Structure 1
Amino acid sequence: MAAAVSEYRREQSLPLPGSSAALYNNLSVLRARPPAAQLHRFSAVHGPSLSLLSAAAGLGLSQRQLPAREPGSGPSPALLTQAAWCPLPSRVLLVLTSHRGIQMYEADGSALVYWHGLEALEQPPAQALFARGIAAAGERFICVGTSSGPVLVFDVPPKGSNVALSQVLQGHGAAVTDIAAEQGQAPDGAGDLVSADDAGALCVWSSGEEFRLLSRVPACGCTCSSVALWQGTVAAGFGNGQIRLYEAASGRLRAQVNAHARWINALDLAPDTGKVRMGAGVLASHPAS
């Protein structure tokens, strides 16, 4: 365990322009991509706005608050539930979810590209309506989870605002908590997208022109708050402090870590090594392999 932790190196602290809400998975990072090879972006949700921080080597920091801009929101903007950058081969979009809908911005938050309202979703009585769980999948898709269980798949063009809802994935009976895409090289038949829900169920999907459900881990009665996917292995963090590793192709449990007494509130995975880092009141590191 000590060897895994020693591979991480602490860098200079970067202050966000505002405080962060107590939501799991409430930090998104866009790592530098050419041509802006030294520019990194960070974001965290607080209420109806998103704190954005851009950091470039030798150029200092750029900070701003991005308020949720939703059509017809009136005087009381909806509370944001999550934000994440979605890197696709042709473009990067910043996706925000809320109690009213899904917003897609250009990567720097400068322009609203697409808005999808949630009013059309069938919602059980007395259950909150919201979207949560965001991931890019395949060559041109962005997947977003909803409070009633379906995962919405959006087809994103190389440029412009002609985003279209192309498929609705049915596999969850509870609110989606997190979605993650394959960060390594998926073995044949293993799938490249995983979604989790409030009841602890996991669904592994194969992306393409038509997404297919490949395997499902049944609900365990404890929220699965965060997931990561690497080379056919699903890493999942739960509300009881457990971390579980599953075989993506079959849903078979491969390992279980009972090292935390608190809720696992986030997972991060190093795509080159498969090392998983998580937040649970304290931070720890475990190899997914």
Structure 2
Amino acid sequence: MRTCVVSMVAADSEGPNDPGVRMFRRERSIPLRGSAAALCNNLSVLQLPLRNLTHFGVVHGPSAHLLSAAPEGVPLAQRQLHAKEGAGVSPPLITQMYESDGSVMVYWHALDAGDASPVQAVFARGIASSGHFICVGTWSGRVLVFDIPAKGPNIVLSEELAAHPTSVTDIASEPAQGQDCVADMVTADDSGLLCIWQSGPEFKLSTQIPGFGVPCTSVQLWQGTIAAGYGNGQVRLYEASTGNLHIQINAHARAICALDLAPEVGKLLTAAEDTFVHIWKLSRSPESGYIEVEHCHGECVPDTQVCGARFCDPSGNSFAVTGYDLAEILRFSSM
């Protein structure tokens, strides 16, 4: 096993930790009717190239803002999705699924509070698709696996994965790389524990990576490599098949709130409460097979607690950022 530690904690833009060469410029922002809540990973992006549209999703209080925009950032439509009322279930205990434009709710599921005490929060957190399954993390540490049919609204809860002792924080997946794929989904929790799964008719737990007393707030998968962001500002890269640590990056001065990966080129996007967004280039050495990391770009969003960041295309040529109490989505594109 080879472990490498890389320090890159951003401070003042004119100091010795200057983010470096600028590769992206700020574009026209997209206005929101509300603002972004202070939640990790509080931005979703869905690109629809055939329609020349990009959908953005942001959570604000008990509702979600879903909007579509043209490539130049002009907002075309915006919806506010509220938690379903009725059926004797309170809104915080609901998981809902919509069509991509938010026009139709196709399914809702009541969360089981179980033995939760009256003062214990009950919530769903972390979501990812794996094949024809959608996996949703919960406050109890369970992961709900929904089977999504190719056509029609006949969605069913197929199983519940119980491997986390604390609340799930994030879930990531990537398409299986053939029959011998060791892992195609990873789940993280508040203790920092990572669980690696093989999906199929039944999900199988293949590896666990112990935590070290710091929450893992965001995870991503890329070519069998796990990128994990933590509450102490570190990014760690693990081999999914073995759980071995490859590289530790001291990337931020405060807690990381979002990670994203551009799968076509291996760019890693990290964002944190220190107001900085960084972009890193991941590559695998052809000689040794080890993962190598290069810092490509740093962006400061002044006086803003960043809470979400996502690439807007699979090549990593543009990205978007949200911030707490910020009534706009900031956009950046390559120069």
Using structure 2 for the length normalisation, give the TM-score: 0.72
Report how far residue 210 of structure 1 moved. 1.1
Partner of 2:277: 283
In structure 2, the CA distance between the partners of 1:162 and 1:11, relative to structure 1 (3 Å rule), is same
2: distance between equivalents of 1:226 and 1:186? 26
Contact 2:170 2:188 in 1 (8 A): yes
Report how far residue 63 of structure 1 moved. 3.6
Partner of 1:24: 40
Q: Does 1:240 align with 2:232?
A: yes
TM alignment of 1:142-161, pairs within 5 A: 142-161=134-153
Q: State percent identity of aligned pairs.
A: 53
2: distance between equivalents of 1:222 and 1:59? 37
Partner of 2:328: none
Runs of 5+ unmatched residues, structure 1 = 79-98
| Residues 104-113 or 184-193, more deviating | 184-193
In structure 2, the CA distance between the partners of 1:184 and 1:166, relative to structure 1 (3 Å rule), is closer
Letter in 2 for 1:279: A
Letter in 1 for 2:109: H
Partner of 1:219: 211
Report how far residue 58 of structure 1 moved. 7.8
Partner of 1:91: none
In structure 2, the CA distance between the partners of 1:5 and 1:17, relative to structure 1 (3 Å rule), is farther
Partner of 1:188: 180
2: distance between equivalents of 1:271 and 1:49? 30
Letter in 2 for 1:111: V
Contact 1:68 1:77 in 2 (8 A): no
RMSD of Structure 2 on Structure 1 (CA): 2.7
1: distance between equivalents of 2:211 and 2:73? 48
Runs of 5+ unmatched residues, structure 2 = 1-7, 9-17, 284-335
2: distance between equivalents of 1:191 and 1:116? 27
Structure number with higher relative contact order (C-alpha < 8 Å, ≥ 6 residues apart): 2
Partner of 1:92: none
2: distance between equivalents of 1:233 and 1:215? 13
Report how far residue 121 of structure 1 moved. 4.0
Contact 2:184 2:199 in 1 (8 A): yes
Partner of 2:94: 101
1: distance between equivalents of 2:138 and 2:32? 28
Using structure 1 for the length normalisation, give the TM-score: 0.83
Q: Does 1:56 align with 2:70?
A: yes
Partner of 2:198: 206
Partner of 2:305: none
Letter in 2 for 1:270: A
2: distance between equivalents of 1:168 and 1:102? 15
| Residues 172-181 or 60-69, more deviating | 60-69
In structure 2, the CA distance between the partners of 1:217 and 1:162, relative to structure 1 (3 Å rule), is same
Report how far residue 235 of structure 1 moved. 0.3
In structure 2, the CA distance between the partners of 1:214 and 1:144, relative to structure 1 (3 Å rule), is same
The number of equivalent residue pairs is 265
TM alignment of 1:61-76, pairs within 5 A: 61-72=75-86
Query: Secondary structure at the residue paired with 1:219?
Result: coil
